[in-house]
Amino acid sequence: MMDIQPVSETALIIRLGDHIDTQLAVKTGSMADHIRNSCSSELIEVIPSYTTIYIQYHPLKTDFFALKIRLQGLVDAFFLSDDKDDRAREVSKTITLPVYYSLETGPDLPEVAQFHNRTVADVIQIHSQSTYVVCAIGFSPGFAFLGSVDSAIATPRKSEPRKMLPAGSVGIADQQTAVYPSESPGGWQIIGNCPVSLIDFDKTPMSPFSVGLSVQFQPISRDEFFALGGTLWSHWKSWTRG
């Protein structure tokens, strides 16, 4: 399934599928890079997501009909390509993030474990042994939606979000997991904290994440957490919901 439709006078959207698929996310991220490189002078912004690519273009350099024809050719050629080496490199792009899984940093660990009739140790082991794919970036700068969480620990969002979460909070929401890159309200089930900074507005790119990238989580000890710059948020016990 592939469809290209206008969304405004200077933007269009490419639909590459109709359901969330981590393998499609890898291809979508690579396709977005290919489009940027091939049409850089005509485009303002290229934003890949779960199954789509949003494109904003210069109205004085191209129009929807001309760009649609060009994009159709690029997409068709990309998905018909047999360049296995390039595809292998796409899949091999992986970053590993340290996480301190604990009741100090993951107040929802017991809730997730109880929801699945498992132990806290089970939740930590299952979450950290999976490899995730960045399917979309949004909600806040640098917030990467990662899929897919093992059904053995996939847990719904909280019925009432917390008013504030500390930066680095690692959460689960249904079959997605994520790291909150900065302090933020949030309704995900928090199971740990990553002490590594994941957003820097003075850098380009400002975040290490891109759609299609693979992410793994490495459990670390309390001492390692502090050595990497982690801190225990002073508001944990006084969290309120609303």
> Tens digits of per-residue pLDDT, 27-69?
899 899 999 999 989 999 999 998 999 999 999 999 999 999 9
The strand pair at 169-173 and 176-179 is best described as antiparallel
pTM given for the model: 0.87
pLDDT band at 242 (very low <50, low <70, confident <90, very high): very low
